Amino acid sequence: MTFDEVPGWFMPIDQAAFSWILTHQNLTEPEGALVELGVFKGKSAILIGNFRRPGEVFTACDLFEDIATSEVADPGERRFFLSQSLTQLAFERCYLAFHADLPRIVRGASETVTRFVAPRTARFVHIDAGHTYDLVRRDLASARAMLRDTGVVAIADYRKPDTLGTAAAVWDAILNEGLKPILNTEFKLYATWGDPAPLQEVVRQGATEAGWCRVGDPVMIRGMPMLYLHRKPG
């Protein structure tokens, strides 16, 4: 199985952004926890796992087939993911095609993750589980509790027409709860409760070196600069 053959929703622009941020953390920061809420068949988890250092724990949380009976799942998402034959075994098979060991799997609702990851120990949290306002609000609260000061949260689908609850939860956190934007792509928004400036420099440098993508002029939101990372046209 090649990485391109793993089913999922994880575009090259975000594969690049994850890689630059995680590489920067690996080079400059002590060990920390890695967390993904909503793994599906492992596409983004496999890439995060590439950056796990010895001694670090990567926690991968999903309802998997229990989405069929889970009361917390959004009914529309339940129908969709059941149609995708998602099982824990399918995730494990994909993950093990790229890694010798599985991550720590939390099979359950994303809101349970803080029982497993200690406060202020995480360096990177990817939120890509339930996409409703209430679920993303809760996942952002969990991310805030788990992340250390320099930690980064990436939130999927923050601007899709059919996931406005995610958009509302993200902007709520930015405008009212101290979350600071780092960058956005077409698909994900990256942010921190710490200082976004060093990470913005990492992204600028990554884009310059990569050549196929670029960072636009910063967009200012209440004095906070946000960078748009996108493919170069043509």
Ligand X SMILES: C[S@@+](CC[C@H](N)C(=O)[O-])C[C@H]1O[C@@H](n2cnc3c(N)ncnc32)[C@H](O)[C@@H]1O
Instruction: Please report, as ranges, the residues that interact with ligand X according to CB under 6 A.
Output: 8-10, 38-40, 43-44, 61-63, 67, 72-73, 77, 81, 86, 109-110, 128-130, 135
Looking at the Cβ atoms of 77 and 144, the one nearer to ligand X is 77
Residue 195 Cβ vs ligand X, minimum distance, rounded to whole Å? 27
Residue 131 Cβ vs ligand X, minimum distance, rounded to whole Å? 8
Length of the chain measured in residues: 234
Cβ within 8 Å of residue 77, ≥6 positions away: 67, 130, 131
Q: What six digits make up the tokens of 99?
A: 């890694």
Residue 218 Cβ vs ligand X, minimum distance, rounded to whole Å? 27
Work out the number of other CB atoms within 10 angstroms of the CB of residue 228: 14
Residue 94 Cβ vs ligand X, minimum distance, rounded to whole Å? 9
Looking at the Cβ atoms of 61 and 189, the one nearer to ligand X is 61
Looking at the Cβ atoms of 73 and 213, the one nearer to ligand X is 73
Looking at the Cβ atoms of 73 and 182, the one nearer to ligand X is 73
How far apart, in whole angstroms, are the C-alpha atoms of residue 35 and residue 44?
11
Q: What six digits make up the tokens of 135?
A: 């679920």
Looking at the Cβ atoms of 16 and 86, the one nearer to ligand X is 86
Residue 73 Cβ vs ligand X, minimum distance, rounded to whole Å? 5
Cβ within 8 Å of residue 192, ≥6 positions away: 147, 150, 151, 152, 153, 179, 180, 182, 199
Looking at the Cβ atoms of 128 and 202, the one nearer to ligand X is 128
**Measured CA angle at 217 (ends 204, 151), to 5 deg:** 45
Residue 127 Cβ vs ligand X, minimum distance, rounded to whole Å? 9
Residue showing the smallest CB distance to ligand X in the complex: 8
Angle at which helix 197-210 crosses helix 12-28, to 10 degrees, equals: 120
Residue 98's nearest CA partner among 49, 55, 35 is 49
Adjacent-strand bridge partners of 125: 35, 153
